[in-house]
Amino acid sequence: MREMILADNLDDRKQALAKLLPYQREDFIGIFKALKGLPATIRFLDPPLHEFLPHEASQQEELAKKLGVPVEKISNRVKELHEFNPMLGFRGCRLGIIYPEISEMQARAVFEAAVEVQKSGVKVKPEVMIPLVGFKRELDLQVGVVNRVAEAVMKETKTKLSYMVGTMIEIPRGALTADEIAQTAQFFSFGTNDLTQTTLGMSRDDSGSFLPKYQESDIVKKNVFASIDQTGVGQLIKIAVEKGRSTRPDIKLGICGEHGGDPDSVKFCHRTGLSYVSCSPFRVPVARLAAAQAALEDEVAAKPAAKAAKAAKPAKAAKSAKPAKKK
């Protein structure tokens, strides 16, 4: 990855990516085998590029020796990639649009892995997720790359694959224009961590210095990075759900992020009509319990309504009695 970031031109980037391809493919092979036919949602590269390079001089010198390049090349690249607010900078789908060869490599790794596992007799259901989409055209460009690579791999291997391409809704514009984005996206996964940051203008990394006081002052009821702000962020999710379904009624909807393991957030997602939540492994039992509770609450609430509806039905008219036969 570091060689790719340090590359000065397209050819050098492609050479570096060619070295990464086998590692990515092996990762996906392991994932597909472990899932045994269950859907595998694969988010394309998202973090800012600067995160992959060392910032300390000693570490830069060590990397320079390892790669056989001047240490100045590494330090200069770090300076070039510096961003004042990297989480709102050059990341997500923006990387794939400026460097489509990155998306091409990842797509090839996904589909070559899918072919290999499928040929071994295991069903594979890849779901490619494009992150940080706010404009339909961003998604169109990335989906074009994914589809082109998928077709090439299927032709090369003479294998038919079934896959989906969707996006993460994690910035407000993506939620507000979800009807347009759903023209291309086959599924939405709400990235509630970033959607919370971009909606509230709060950094998750820095919020610990003031959020406890906000809770004491009753500005927020809970830590908004642990439990979804249902009034604000939740409203954007509801808008996106409604707009997405207006364009694509069968669109698959879910969330990913730490909110997926919070009981109140899980119940909110259930009420909003999402079909799944995703969270870190240790929070899965809590998420399952909350999902079951939400379903039971719905069932309990539905019973009185059903009884009331039944009681409100007009009684059927009694059949007229037949006259007695004369003897």
- DSSP assignment letter at 42: E
Contact status, residue 243 vs residue 212, Cβ threshold 8 Å: no
What DSSP line would sit under 246-263, residue for residue? Answer: HH-TT-EEEEESGGGG-H
18-71 tens-digit pLDDT: 999 999 999 999 999 999 999 999 999 887 776 777 778 888 788 778 888 888
Q: Where are the alpha helices (DSSP H) in 43-123?
A: 57-67, 71-81, 93-98, 100-119
Angle, CA 16 vertex, CA 78 and CA 70 arms, to 5°: 45
What DSSP line would sit under 142-195, residue for residue? Answer: HHHHHHHHHHHHHHHHT-----EEEEEE-SHHHHHTHHHHTTT-SEEEEEHHHH
Domain residue spans in the chain?
11-46+97-304
**Greater confidence, 152 or 52?**
152
Residue 324 is predicted with a pLDDT of 47
pLDDT grade for 308, boundaries at 50, 70 and 90: low
Res 325 pLDDT > 70: no
For domain 11-46+97-304, give its CATH number from 3.50.50.60, 3.20.20.60, 1.10.10.60, 3.40.50.2300: 3.20.20.60
Residue 86 is predicted with a pLDDT of 75
Determine what percent of the chain is predicted with pLDDT higher than 90.
Answer: 66
Contact status, residue 263 vs residue 290, Cβ threshold 8 Å: yes
